[in-house]
Amino acid sequence: MTQTMKPEQVRERFGPMFCKGLVTMVDEKNGIAKIIEVCSSKGPSEWDIVNRKRTGGIIENIAAEGTTIVMDTVIGDRDLRFGPASSTLGGQGISSLRIVGDTVHTRWKGIAGASVGVGACLPQAPGVIETIYPDQITMGGAKTLETEIVTPKMVRVVIGVDDTDTPEQGASWVLTMKLGKECPYGMYLDHKIVQLNPKAPNKTTNCCGTAVSFAVKEEDVTKLIDFAVDFVRKGTYSDDTVMAVMTGLKVPEELAKWSWDAKSILYTVDDAVQVAERNGVRIINVTGKKGTIGAVAAVGCFDMGIRAAGVPEDFE
């Protein structure tokens, strides 16, 4: 037997807690997912990261970005490895992630204080639809609890943009930052400024592309892209603005390598079009074509961390 509660019911029963958001994105083609949990402070997030890493389960990689926990997982089921943690340290982990229609079901287990996290804190976070509990709910102290948290099925959309400014006015990174903050569809996730080849003959000054990412329901992907195209078209100062769009959690290896090489190699627009076509990246000529290289490379470098902002010699 089980019982199901919506976030407001959890809050009423157990009192208000601290999680500020829970988002689950899936990439069915690659069999992977990304869970983003927005915490209230570093202490609990650091403890959760260590414990979830220890227990393994479906988590492939887990890291902190400020007070936010970012988890890369597989889609499916894996056993948790609590080991001695179950009797001496407590513990917490995720054993399952499954897609059910337009929702994602994740199964969490917490021991001792961590049981309150999976039973009272996460289930009332913004972004949660409902949580499925066992018939008898026990948490806190030395107790153990397993819950199944249901969230909307979302995908990641990365939008690269280049050539929106002129020597006299504009800045592409500003325009895309505004796009991220003003877009009414999905959840704005991240913004990157991508340094490209400073020797490029057709550049304003810095030769940077830029990109933003969103978590969005599949049904809203087209709406998000249409909004972005219109937003960039209205905000650009250039006749050569291009947008590149990728949906998914994994940047293809060929695209990533090509984009890294674009920091030192002078590619042509045709080169960019071909690598985009081979790797599932959609190119949209907003006002022209010259920005194609930068837009595609901005998408390809999106997951490179600090390397996206530099050129190869910065990391030798």
Say if pTM beats, i.e. exceeds, 0.85.
Answer: yes
For strands 103-111 and 208-217, give the pairing: unpaired
Nearest to 165 by CA among 228, 230, 209: 209
Q: What are the beta bridge partners of residue 59?
A: 73
pLDDT score recorded for residue 167: 63
The DSSP H or E segment spanning 5 is strand 2-5
Domain boundaries, the chain: 2-152, 155-315
Provide the residue type at 118 as one letter.
Answer: V
In the block, residue with structure tokens 């400020």: 66
Residues 261-299: tens digit of each pLDDT: 999 999 999 999 999 999 999 999 999 999 999 999 999
CA distance linking residue 35 with residue 85, whole number of Å? 23
**CATH of range 155-315; options 3.40.640.10, 3.30.70.2200, 3.90.380.10, 3.40.50.1460:** 3.30.70.2200
User: Does residue 251 register a pLDDT over 50?
Assistant: yes
Mean pLDDT to the nearest integer, 92-103: 97
What does residue 250 show for φ and ψ, rounded to 5 degrees? -120, 120
What is the sign of the dihedral through the CA atoms of 235, 237, 241 and 246?
negative
Contacts 24+ apart (CB under 8 A), 48-54: 48/92, 48/114, 48/117, 51/85, 51/89, 51/90, 51/91, 51/92, 51/93, 51/114, 52/92, 52/93, 52/94, 54/81, 54/82, 54/83, 54/85, 54/91, 54/93
Model confidence over 126-175: pLDDT tens digits?
Answer: 999 999 999 999 998 888 999 999 999 999 999 999 999 866 777 889 99
